[in-house]
Amino acid sequence: MEVTYLLSEIEVVAQKLLAETNSRTLLFYGEMGAGKTTLIKALLRALGAEDTGSSPTFSLVNVYETENGTVNHFDFYRINDETEAWDMGFEEYLDSGNWNFIEWPQKIENFVEEGHQKVEILTLNNELRKLKLC
């Protein structure tokens, strides 16, 4: 799946992404400010979360209950070493069967398995993004 969208269309893109994915673990790639957290918030709303909160930059993970199960939202931007993910029990989250949305997965490359899907977001301009689901 590849789609170019305006930020005002993010709710539709979130619905399409959920319909197209074949994994409950999504790896979000994109430069700072590309809209990874914004898209994840739209995904949480699409899944029926009442609270879409904020990026877990300092806590590493936020857990949300939705109408469609639990969602674990990770942000590994600030970790210095993969062992920090190991120490927090990251593998247990992956094995839980819950949705896992992971920002900055390149920081935990040794945990990333082939079955997880990559979501690449490119900034085309202030309002336009290109999303590729691999």
Q: Rounded mean pLDDT of 99-122?
A: 93
Per DSSP, the chain holds a count of helices (H) and strands (E) of 4, 7
Mean pLDDT across the chain:
94
Q: Rounded mean pLDDT of 66-81?
A: 95
The set of residues, in sequence order, having a beta carbon less than 8 Å from that of 95 and lying 6+ positions away, is: none
Q: Rounded mean pLDDT of 79-103?
A: 94
Superfamily of domain 2-133: P-loop containing nucleotide triphosphate hydrolases (3.40.50.300)
53 with 81: CB under 8 angstroms? no
Can you give the residue ranges of every domain in the chain? 2-133
Q: Rounded mean pLDDT of 90-97?
A: 93
Buried b or exposed e, range 78-106, using 16+ CB within 10 angstroms: ebeeeeebeeeebeebbeeebbbbbbbbe
Does 2 score more than 80 pLDDT? Answer: yes
Task: Give the pLDDT band of residue 112 (cuts 50, 70, 90).
Answer: confident
At 88 the pLDDT is 92
Task: Give the pLDDT band of residue 21 (cuts 50, 70, 90).
Answer: very high
The pLDDT tens digits for 23-56 are: 999 999 999 999 999 999 999 999 999 888 778 8
Tell me what percent of the residues of the chain surpass a pLDDT of 70. Answer: 100
